[in-house]
């Protein structure tokens, strides 16, 4: 089955710097790649997603890039702010258009003021 | 509109007891998912319901775990003969297309 690896597990940056989180997936048939943010004690919430027919997508300070050949995708956060501190999860759709997602293990991002 | 709700928010039980966790998805969402999140860990897929199709139970860790979805809406996750390793936050999510909307979770503590 599909497997998603996420790196790094923890990331600490200074406010204003950029942060990059990377994920790899195993099944080339996956076609949907969302990113979720989970603040401490709260539920995960979608922040950005990308489908396999697109190579890059941006939304203000966040962007996601997808390399289908290499089977990896990345989250980029620019001009980081303390409120970006959270756990970020990548996910890949399970092949077969079932709607099922396989999640990475998460990255704890700390933005130091 | 109302989001995904779960009850109870917290559940403390004794080892060996059965527990039921409830999820109310967003109205109209055809897909419903259950995940388990242990402290500081990722989202472990448990089970997935899509419309009237047979559920995908491939993530259930043992036969002590089961789930139902009645009338295509509310779902109940049942854990029988709870063990201490079952302690975790159990998250429910629902979706219509793509994005999964999560509930606040039920924190289960097995003493």
| Eight-state DSSP code of residue B84 | G
Minimal CA separation from B59 to chain A, in Å: 11
Contact A101, A93 (CB under 8 A): yes
Name the residue facing B102 among A44, A104, A106 (closest C-beta).
A44
Q: For testing the chain B interface, which of A41, A43, A51 should be mutated: the one with the most B CBs within 10 Å?
A: A43
> Does A101 contact B45 at a Cβ distance shorter than 8 Å?
yes
Higher confidence at residue B35 or residue B2? B35
Strand ranges, E, within B8-64: 10-13, 19-24, 31-37, 44-50
What is the tens place of the pLDDT at every residue in A7-64?
999 999 999 999 999 999 999 999 999 999 999 989 999 999 999 888 999 999 999 9
| Eight-state DSSP code of residue A91 | E
pLDDT of A94 = 85
Q: Cα A78 vs. chain centroid, distance in angstroms?
A: 14
What is the tens place of the pLDDT at every residue in B29-88?
999 999 999 987 889 999 999 988 889 999 999 999 999 998 879 999 999 999 999 999
What is the tens place of the pLDDT at every residue in B15-28?
999 999 999 999 99
User: Residue A53: CA atoms inside 13 Å, Cβ hemisphere, count?
Assistant: 0
Instruction: Kindly list the residues from chain B whose CB atom is less than 8 angstroms away from the CB atom of residue A9.
Output: none
Q: Is B29 on the interface with A (CB under 8 A)?
A: no
Closest CA to B36 of B69, B74, B64: B64
Count of Cβ atoms closer than 10 Å to residue B65 Cβ: 18
């Amino acid at each position: 089955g599909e497997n998603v690896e996420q790196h790094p597990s923890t990331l600490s940056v200074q406010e204003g710097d950029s942060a990059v989180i990377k994920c790899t997936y195993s099944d080339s048939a996956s076609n949907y790649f969302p990113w979720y943010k989970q603040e401490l004690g709260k539920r995960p919430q979608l922040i950005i997603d990308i489908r396999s027919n697109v190579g890059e997508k941006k939304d203000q300070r966040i962007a996601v890039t997808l390399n289908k050949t290499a089977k990896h995708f990345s989250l980029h956060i620019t001009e980081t702010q303390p409120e970006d501190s959270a756990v970020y999860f990548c996910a890949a759709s399970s092949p077969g258009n079932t709607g099922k997602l396989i999640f990475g293990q998460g990255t704890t991002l700390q933005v130091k003021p | 509109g109302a989001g995904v709700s779960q009850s109870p928010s917290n559940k403390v039980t004794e080892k060996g007891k059965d527990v039921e966790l409830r999820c109310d998805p967003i109205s109209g969402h055809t897909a419903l998912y259950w995940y388990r999140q242990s402290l500081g860990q990722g989202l472990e897929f448990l089970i997935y319901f899509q419309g009237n199709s047979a559920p995908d139970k491939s993530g259930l860790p043992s036969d002590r775990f089961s789930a139902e979805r009645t009338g295509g809406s509310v779902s109940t996750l049942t854990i029988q003969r709870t063990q201490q390793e079952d302690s975790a936050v159990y998250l429910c999510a629902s979706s219509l297309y793509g994005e999964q909307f999560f509930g606040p979770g039920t924190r289960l503590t097995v003493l």
